[in-house]
Structure 1
């Protein structure tokens, strides 16, 4: 059974989320403050940590630093903040995802499954696909050695493709796994726009893509 450290000071949210995670088959250690979370993080191993950023006695960032100092445990930040600077701060210290409140439970559970699946698969620090390199530690993408500037959602979309290279991904799968940082869901039309923008940034010829290929009537596949 996979063990999750859940740190959330809002007891209503915490109890509801803890219950839902346990119903999904996870073992949950629930903490409402930074002090107790740090004790748990230092005394036992967890498969995932879900950390509220704003806590009564500290910050989820402090807990993340403590966790990352001693292990590769994946971290998801859970917070009311959704400014780009907050997202960058979390990603820079090694967070695997960043979910803003209010959130829809089904999509948060999907993010949990995705992060655990990546962690369990022995995710590498770098994923190379042709001339593209995705650095998962720094959340940076380079093409032929030059950095490709991506938004948080564009990066998440590309990472989803990279982690499933060669596999067909339906639009439904992409919509489920690509959740807007601000707490809204990406609809079908928005997904089309983001794939177009991503192609414009990573493809030599966006009209004839070699990285993100369309499988007509079914979805997309990452090639090269």
Structure 2
């Protein structure tokens, strides 16, 4: 049974989430403060943590740091704000995902299951051509230079990193990507995000070598030798 640390100061939300996750066969340990959560992170091993960004005695960032020091526990931030800067800060600290309140219960469960799958299969440092992705630190570099990505661009890149040898359909990408408001990304928006990600990674959208288009199906990773 997977062990989940839930860090949430709102008692009703904490109780409802605990019941939801227990119903999905997770074991849940709840903490209401930064101090409680850090103490638990130092004393026990968890498979994943759900961490509210705003806590009465501090922030979820400190909890995330403690969990990373304890062995790289996957962290999903719970936030009442779609503030891009807060989300990017969390991802750069090593969080694997974020979800904006209010959220759909099935959406949260799907995010947790996806994070657990990725934690069991993805390497901490992924390299393809000139691209290097440190998934533990949330750092992306091309030819040794750090590349700043938005939260959604980073999440998009992680889908490819976690599936380096297969074709990823557009439908799958649309299922996995959510914007900061918690709504599905549209088909047209996905095309735009792919283009932006290619540009930031030095992958010419007109002749890509890293994120390749599989006509009529989706995308796959190439050798990336043109990325620079």
Q: Same fold (TM over 0.5)?
A: yes
The CA deviation at 1:31 is: 2.5
For residues 179 and 22 of structure 2, what CA distance do their matches in structure 1 show?
A: 25
1:196 aligns with 2:195: yes
Q: Answer yes or no: is the 8 Å Cα contact 1:4–1:28 preserved in 2.
A: yes
For residues 94 and 147 of structure 2, what CA distance do their matches in structure 1 show?
A: 19
For residues 137 and 213 of structure 1, what CA distance do their matches in structure 2 show?
A: 25
After the TM superposition, which segments of 4 or more aligned residues of structure 1 sit over 6 Å from their partners?
A: none
**Equivalent in the alignment of 1:57:** 57
**Equivalent in the alignment of 2:95:** 95
- Cα distance per residue 1:14-38 (max 9 Å; x no partner): 2332222223222111223334333
Go from structure 1 to structure 2 and tell me whether the alpha carbon gap of 1:204 and 1:211 turns closer, same or farther (over 3 Å shift). closer
**Equivalent in the alignment of 2:226:** none
Give TM-score scaled by structure 1 length: 0.88
Q: Answer yes or no: is the 8 Å Cα contact 2:49–2:75 preserved in 1.
A: yes
Q: Answer yes or no: is the 8 Å Cα contact 1:107–1:176 preserved in 2.
A: no
The CA deviation at 1:203 is: 4.7
Go from structure 1 to structure 2 and tell me whether the alpha carbon gap of 1:63 and 1:142 turns closer, same or farther (over 3 Å shift). closer
* SS of equivalent residue, structure 2 residue 155: helix
Relative to structure 2, which stretch is displaced further, 197-206 or 42-51? 197-206
Give TM-score scaled by structure 2 length: 0.87
For residues 177 and 119 of structure 1, what CA distance do their matches in structure 2 show?
A: 16
For residues 31 and 156 of structure 1, what CA distance do their matches in structure 2 show?
A: 27
**How many residues are aligned here?**
223
**Equivalent in the alignment of 1:66:** 66
1:32 aligns with 2:37: no
The CA deviation at 1:68 is: 2.2
The RMSD of aligned alpha carbons is 2.0
For residues 185 and 14 of structure 1, what CA distance do their matches in structure 2 show?
A: 25
**Equivalent in the alignment of 2:177:** 178
Q: Answer yes or no: is the 8 Å Cα contact 1:110–1:177 preserved in 2.
A: no
Matches within 5 A, 1:1-224: 1-121=1-121, 123-224=122-223
- Cα distance per residue 1:80-130 (max 9 Å; x no partner): 133233123322322222222222333222221222112222x43321011
* SS of equivalent residue, structure 1 residue 9: coil
The CA deviation at 1:199 is: 2.1
Go from structure 1 to structure 2 and tell me whether the alpha carbon gap of 1:208 and 1:4 turns closer, same or farther (over 3 Å shift). same
For residues 199 and 89 of structure 2, what CA distance do their matches in structure 1 show?
A: 26
